[in-house]
């Protein structure tokens, strides 16, 4: 190969090289022609390339337009999303607010909404037709009234006031006649005393106590009418029963008269002296009547026993019977009054509260009360003071004071007949010292039992009896002491007996000693250590 070669592009070495664009082309004509032909041959390619460039420019312009539109749309969508997020936050806030208000709103609706059954019961029926249904209806109505009145600023509650007030007035017109009809048997002249008051109180009146409580809260005037109706009927019932019973005991008492024999006065009659031992034995036997225990003293004296003309009963047994009948009936009645009337002054009870007693003492039956709750008693045919009804009371409570007022209105006439019998026992011829002390001890036990049962209104009456008997007992004991002093003077030859030369015989001394020993033993058996100083002060 030659070290020299042809210059590129067909130029010879002699031809100077020209830089393209540096000036007028000095290509040969033949070269220009070749270039032109080459260009012409490739013109279509150049045109296609130009067209492609233009199409690309147009496509780029269109794409730029699309991107701009998309950007605008994206900005709009972003704004809408932000708006939706704000709305979602607002809705969530509202939902939380509604969830917060939903419980009180439901409570409001439940309080002021009247069930159709409640409206139909009060509007279309009477208590005597379905008392159980009315018990539920009155409890619901009482709650609705309380709820509406406590929400007086709520518009919905105000709109319900007229409807609820109409139902309230309907109930107020129906309940008093129904309650008064329950006590109508007590006012019957023919069947009043034969009516079992305990069953009436327990099975009917206490069962429908919520009716009276509703009347007391909604219309005290109508409640007072029901109270007056019961007071009049119960007063007549107890007054009649206690009058007949006290009269029967008085007839039995009149058959036995006891002479006050001073231990220092001894008759010289041998027959009288022979009876001393028998009298001492009877004095010991009669100590059992100072105990309320049925096993010791036996059953109470019943009114029909007066038909037995030969019946003789010690005055202690008669006093014990009357006191037990009084205690059982008074405590049962006061318990009922507290549960029926005083309880009505309490706030509106909840629907779940149900206090339906199952048993109570039977008035004038001589039974006793048996407490398994605040006041729940069961009385049989004879008194058993071991079973005691008890009520927890507070004497400062206004409702209890009202209950005591009602008790006195019911029971004071019956207490008058008890007072008359008691006065016939201690005046004008009081019983001897030992029977009288037995009466005092009986009365003390009655006071203790009445206090245990919470029968506060009866305590002043019993205390008055105690205060009336102690001076009489002290007077009789003074008489025994004076008789012994006189006997001692006679034994020493003083006084009229010594003047006429009559001394005290040994037989009389034995009788006096026996009487004194019996008196001392009985007094000791009936006394308590705290009272011995007062009893043996002389």
User: What is the Cα–Cα distance from 538 to 535, expressed in whole angstroms?
Assistant: 8
Q: 13 lies in a domain?
A: no
Dig out the tokens for 494 from the structure.
């003083």
CA-to-CA dists, residue 353 to 21, 94, 319, 375, 430, angstroms = 117, 39, 43, 17, 54
End of a domain among 62, 92, 112?
Answer: 112
Q: 447 lies in a domain?
A: yes
User: What is the Cα–Cα distance from 407 to 388, expressed in whole angstroms?
Assistant: 19
Low-confidence ranges of the chain (pLDDT < 50): 1-17, 21-22, 272-273, 349-396, 496-502
Domain count, the chain: 3
Shared-domain flag, residues 60 and 92: yes
How confident is the model at residue 383, as a pLDDT?
A: 39
Shared-domain flag, residues 293 and 437: yes
| Phi, psi at 358, each rounded to 5° | -115, -20
Shared-domain flag, residues 265 and 159: no
Q: For residue 295, what are the domain limits?
A: 234-535
| Backbone region of residue 88 per phi and psi (left: phi > 0; alpha: psi in -120 to 50; beta: other values) | alpha
End of a domain among 92, 112, 132?
Answer: 112
- Residues in contact with 277: Cβ distance below 8 Å, sequence separation at least 6, in sequence order: 514
The chain-wide mean pLDDT, for the chain, equals 78
Shared-domain flag, residues 178 and 325: no
Q: 20 lies in a domain?
A: no
3-state secondary structure of 47: helix
How confident is the model at residue 388, as a pLDDT?
A: 38
Q: 183 lies in a domain?
A: yes
In this structure, what is the dihedral angle of CA atoms 466, 467, 469, 470, given to the nearest 10 degrees?
110
How confident is the model at residue 275, as a pLDDT?
A: 53
How confident is the model at residue 186, as a pLDDT?
A: 84
Shared-domain flag, residues 294 and 376: yes
User: What is the Cα–Cα distance from 437 to 538, expressed in whole angstroms?
Assistant: 16
How confident is the model at residue 533, as a pLDDT?
A: 53
Q: What is the pLDDT of residues 265-288, one digit of tens each?
A: 665 555 544 555 565 666 777 777
Share of the chain above pLDDT 90, in %: 41
């Amino acid at each position: 190969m030659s070290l020299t070669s042809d210059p590129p592009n067909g130029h010879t070495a002699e031809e100077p090289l020209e830089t393209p664009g540096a000036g007028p082309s000095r290509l040969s004509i033949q070269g220009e022609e070749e270039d032109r032909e080459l260009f012409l041959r490739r013109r279509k390619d150049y045109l296609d390339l130009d067209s492609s460039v233009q199409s690309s420019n147009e496509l780029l312009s269109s794409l730029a337009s699309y991107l701009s539109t998309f950007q605008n749309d994206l900005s709009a969508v972003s704004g809408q999303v932000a708006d939706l997020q704000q709305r979602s936050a607002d809705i969530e806030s509202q939902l939380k607010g509604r969830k917060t208000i939903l419980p009180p709103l439901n409570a409001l609706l439940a309080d002021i909404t009247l069930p159709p059954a409640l409206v139909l019961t009060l509007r279309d029926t009477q208590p005597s037709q379905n008392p159980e249904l009315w018990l539920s209806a009155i409890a619901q109505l009482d709650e609705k009234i309380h709820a509406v009145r406590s929400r007086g600023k709520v518009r919905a509650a105000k709109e319900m006031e007229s409807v609820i007030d109409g139902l309230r007035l309907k109930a107020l017109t129906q309940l008093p006649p129904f309650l008064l009809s329950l006590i109508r048997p007590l006012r019957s002249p023919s069947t009043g005393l034969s009516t079992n008051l305990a069953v009436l109180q327990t099975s009917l009146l206490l069962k429908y106590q919520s009716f009276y409580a509703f009347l007391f809260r909604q219309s005290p005037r109508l409640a007072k009418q029901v109270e007056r109706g019961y007071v009049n009927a119960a007063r007549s019932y107890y007054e009649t029963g206690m009058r007949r019973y006290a009269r029967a005991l008085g007839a039995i008492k009149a058959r036995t008269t006891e002479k006050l024999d001073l231990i220092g006065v001894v008759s010289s009659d041998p027959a009288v002296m022979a009876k001393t031992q028998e009298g001492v034995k009877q004095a010991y036997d009669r100590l059992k009547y100072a105990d309320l225990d049925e096993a010791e003293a036996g059953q109470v004296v019943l009114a029909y026993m007066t038909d037995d003309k030969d019946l003789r009963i010690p005055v202690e047994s008669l006093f014990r019977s009357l006191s037990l009948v009084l205690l059982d009936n008074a405590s049962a009645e006061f318990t009922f009054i507290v549960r029926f009337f005083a309880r009505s002054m309490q706030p509106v009870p909840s629907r779940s509260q149900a206090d339906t007693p199952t048993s109570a003492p039977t008035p004038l039956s001589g039974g006793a009360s048996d407490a398994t709750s605040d006041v729940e008693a069961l009385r049989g045919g004879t008194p058993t003071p071991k079973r005691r009804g008890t009520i927890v009371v507070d004497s400062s409570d206004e409702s209890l004071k009202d209950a005591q007022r009602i008790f006195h209105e019911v029971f004071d006439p019956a207490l008058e007949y008890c007072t008359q019998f008691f006065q016939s026992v201690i005046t004008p011829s009081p019983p001897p010292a030992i029977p009288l002390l037995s009466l005092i001890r009986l009365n003390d036990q009655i006071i203790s039992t009445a206090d245990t049962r919470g029968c506060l209104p009866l305590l002043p009456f019993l205390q008055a009896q105690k205060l009336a008997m102690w001076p009489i007992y002290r007077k009789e004991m003074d008489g025994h002491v004076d008789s012994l002093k006189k006997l001692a003077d006679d034994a020493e030859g003083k006084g009229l007996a010594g003047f006429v030369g009559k001394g005290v015989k040994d037989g009389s001394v034995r009788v006096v000693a026996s009487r004194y020993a019996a008196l001392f033993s009985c007094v000791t058996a009936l006394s308590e250590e705290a009272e011995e100083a007062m009893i043996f002060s002389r």
